[in-house]
Structure 1
Amino acid sequence: MTEVNDPAPHPHATEEEVKAAFGDPKLANVLYHDWEAGTYDEKWSISYDERCISYATDVFRAVAGEEDTPYPTAMELGSGTGFFLLNLMQGGVIKKGSVTDLSPGMVQVALRNAENLGLDVDGRVADAERIPYPDNTFDLVVGHAVLHHIPDVPAAFREVLRVLKPGGRFVFAGEPTKIGNFYARRLGQLTWWLTTNVTKLPALSAWRRPQEELDESSRAAALEAVVDLHTFDPSELEGMALGAGAVDVRAVTEEFAAALAGWPIRTFEAAVPQEKLTVRWRLFAYHLWLRLSALDKKLLAKVLPRELFYNVMITGTKPPAATGL
């Protein structure tokens, strides 16, 4: 359960609140993610079955290596709806978990997801730069697509190392690279423009989302420009972790061909009525992503610089002896 002093979700921000959030990235993150919490899993095709269990565990092992022993305790930083932590728990990587997020709405949904899955999880509304747990609490800290939302990433790394037990590991995945973010956003913008304009044609009107939904999506997209604060060069990200005091730091990247197809597909899905996205379509999109991801891993990762790939993942450990972090 969340602590009694944790704030309540605020899913319906006013235009005045949205305007104020443009000068406050943390407020923007709360408003944007509270608004998205209830539909976030559907938007990103997040599930808690074998498909996403395999994805989460594969990503974890790709950067952390093969480790047989489950971690007794783990915290997810910026957990969102719990996608990474809960699927790692189901995959046998973690025994007991804690979810934290700046968005009360996301913490609420993550705890509900954990309860529905029968998992041993608690949660807190938390600022990544001031994590509300004591020193040396967790064996593992994980995060997925969170670092690029945090204003002070080095401070977050220091906090992660503080709450880790000596020798504990962190694993962050799903962070945008500088080059990957450039082409992904351009593809997304082009797809949104094409889809929302082509569906104005009478023959395709059934594929156009109602205008009020498009307006609301546009408002969310405007806030997304505020909440997405960083892109990362893999070497620079490694330097941040090392500077915070981590050891055994390693960054790897993934998704080039998969990103070139994935971003237009996700943008198209956000621009059309959800009832048009049949099971057949979702299976097509998923299997296409699998095939392109395999191409990335088996071939492209061997011949292309790691900076070209869309996602960067990073791991490291807290030194075995106390360092005062």
Structure 2
Amino acid sequence: MTRSDSRADRTDGPDVPEPNPHATAEQVEAARHDTKLAQVLYHDWEAENYDEKWSISYDKRCVDYARDLFDATVPFSVQRQLPYEHALELGCGSGFFLLNLMQAGVARRGSVTDLSPGMVRVATRNGRNLGLDIDGRVADAERIPYDDNTFDLVVGHAVLHHIPDVELSLREVVRVLKPGGRFLFAGEPTNAGENYARPLSTLTWRVVTNVTRLPGLTGWRRPQAELDESSRAAALEAVVDLHTFSPGDLERMARNAGAVEVSTATTEFTAAMLGWPLRTFEAAVPPGRLGWGYAKFAFHSWIALSWVDNNLWRRVVPKSWFYNVMVTGVKPS
């Protein structure tokens, strides 16, 4: 069976859908009843500012971070045989995971797909700016528009929890992998982690947007039109985040999809408790208001807590309590 589709949207073709970066209230309301429309609207909305919102970069900081996720999940024997020849990122967003993995020597050539035209546009642009061999298509993760046995590696970051039928998507991933090819999905929210990270983010947003109404603090407040737009985006965020997982959930679905050598790892405990409020605070104040000193504080604080998580809490806290879960597996050869 193959799924190569000549009608699949490409970033360089004449029929590529135009991104819609400013959804109306009516479109947001319609998207509440159509999860895939919600995915497109929300991610088109966020595409041009996504890297800034999530402190994404394509320098050593995020190259090392992406490679650390890969190394924490994939066996050392595989790491010694890098790079993979051709890798696909599913639900690529701005290309953060694959582009940084390519810079880290994990893959030579890359393809990116996303349901959002805006995200595919940004990801391929980022790849070109980095001088990487990258191409992109607008595509549904439940129907990947590539032939069987095409890729040596499939990756994704914070994508599975957006997909309605995760197991169907994993079957597609296994299909497009070459025999012996590997997949790695990272950045998926755990059941337990969502119970502390999301409430902290919501509380931070409410505090910042109310405190900045006070006299003398209005310079720290975004224009009301931007805040209203962010609130509509937040309403969509509640629609596009479909799942949380336990490590066992992902292992079971990966095996059901036909993968072997399946395993999971988890990251971020106290680091997530800090990271979510900090990122929300950054999104709630005007761009450029915080400065380099704040950026250094946020990054080094997150690094310090990640070290504590990996070297202390991992010894005493159950694996499932960490915020992010990663899963890897192999297509039988």
Interval containing the TM-score (normalised by the shorter chain): over 0.9
Amino acid at match of 2:48: G
Q: Quick check: 1:281 aligned with 2:281?
A: no
Aligned length: 320
Q: Tell whether the 8 Å contact from 1:71 to 1:139 is kept in structure 2 after alignment.
A: yes
Amino acid at match of 2:291: T
- Give the whole-Å Cα distance in 2 for the aligned partners of 1:43 and 1:9: 19
Counterpart selection for 2:260 from 240, 247, 272: 247
Is the alpha carbon distance of 1:233 and 1:73 closer, same or farther for their aligned partners in structure 2, counting shifts above 3 Å? same
Q: Quick check: 1:24 aligned with 2:37?
A: no
Q: Deviations over 1:198-224 (max 9, x none)?
A: 111102221111111110100000000
Q: Which residue in 2 is equivalent to 1:57?
A: 67
Amino acid at match of 1:108: R
Q: Which residue in 2 is equivalent to 1:323?
A: none
Q: Quick check: 1:204 aligned with 2:217?
A: yes
- Give the whole-Å Cα distance in 2 for the aligned partners of 1:2 and 1:154: 30
Q: CA deviation at 1:3?
A: 4.0
Give percent identity, aligned residues only.
Answer: 66
Q: Which residue in 2 is equivalent to 1:301?
A: 314
Q: Tell whether the 8 Å contact from 1:255 to 1:309 is kept in structure 2 after alignment.
A: yes
Q: Tell whether the 8 Å contact from 1:76 to 1:85 is kept in structure 2 after alignment.
A: yes
Which stretch of the first structure deviates more once superposed, 170-179 or 201-210?
201-210
TM-score, normalised relative to structure 1: 0.97
- Give the whole-Å Cα distance in 2 for the aligned partners of 1:48 and 1:133: 27
Q: Which residue in 1 is equivalent to 2:125?
A: 112
Q: Which residue in 2 is equivalent to 1:122?
A: 135
Q: Which residue in 1 is equivalent to 2:96?
A: 83
Q: CA deviation at 1:64?
A: 0.9
Q: Deviations over 1:58-111 (max 9, x none)?
A: 111100133122000000000001000000001101000000000000000111
TM-score, normalised relative to structure 2: 0.94
Counterpart selection for 1:176 from 166, 173, 189: 189
Q: CA deviation at 1:275?
A: 2.2
- Give the whole-Å Cα distance in 1 for the aligned partners of 2:258 and 2:14: 33
- Give the whole-Å Cα distance in 2 for the aligned partners of 1:86 and 1:105: 17
Amino acid at match of 2:186: A
- Give the whole-Å Cα distance in 1 for the aligned partners of 2:227 and 2:108: 41
Q: Deviations over 1:254-306 (max 9, x none)?
A: 10010011111111111111221201101100000000001111111121101
- Give the whole-Å Cα distance in 1 for the aligned partners of 2:115 and 2:293: 36
Q: Which residue in 2 is equivalent to 1:140?
A: 153
Counterpart selection for 2:278 from 265, 275, 281: 265
Q: Secondary structure at the match of 1:315?
A: strand
Runs of 4+ in 1 over 4 A off after TM superposition: none
Q: Secondary structure at the match of 1:97?
A: strand
